[in-house]
Amino acid sequence: MSKLTKLSLSLAFCLGWAASAQAVPTTVTNTNCDLDGCRGADLKLEVEQQGTNWLVTYTIDTTNLDTNSGAYTGLNQIGFLAIKDWTDVQLQSAPNGTGNWTDPIEAIVKANALCEPSNGNSSKICSAAQSNFLNMTTPKGEYAFEFLVIGGSLMSTSEWHFSGQWANSLGAQSGQIISTGAGSPPAVPEPTAALLFAVGAVTVRQSIRRRS
């Protein structure tokens, strides 16, 4: 193989690697999460491609959660939007066990209604607490849910969405709704991301304010 051919192949590889790196979504932050119901909690959504399926990890850090005097100690609904046109969703793991949550469906989180069906046109995913309520303040810290999304295609991180509802008991009830997008501005893609299996990550972080 000539030096020119080797150089051409190396250049083509580098260009292809750089292009794929730029296509990988990276972390996006939202500093206005307090306006969207996060109540001081930090939210993170991570997506990892597994063949034609997607492993979605939704992590909630309640270290700085404002419980509103005990009214909001955990979640009775959790939802997200990151994959469109999927065919099925399975809850793979939950902090208090998958048996304590309903099977995920295409639905929206809504006050006074647990995982209200979305008429099959939103691609939003929702699961509701049904057995033992998940108290996320004993102790405060990170709580992660894993969903396996079957089929579909990854959406732009600018379209990703976090959902949920703070509560302190099971069942449909009025309460603080989490409803926030990925935020802006987008982060600059990191070249090393092309070497990872992870497709993308979005983080919503609440700025820590000094409380009197």
Q: In this predicted model, which residue has the larger pLDDT, 68 or 200?
A: 68
Distance of alpha carbon 80 from alpha carbon 83, whole angstroms: 9
**Reduced to 3 states, what is the DSSP secondary structure of residue 71?**
coil
Give per-residue pLDDT as tens, 96-137: 999 999 999 999 999 989 999 987 779 999 999 999 999 999
Distance of alpha carbon 78 from alpha carbon 116, whole angstroms: 12
Give residue 17's region: left, alpha or beta (phi > 0; psi -120 to 50): alpha
Band of pLDDT at residue 200, cut at 50, 70 and 90: low
Give per-residue pLDDT as tens, 59-93: 999 999 999 999 999 999 999 999 999 999 999 99
Domains recognised in the chain with CATH numbers: 25-204 (2.60.40)
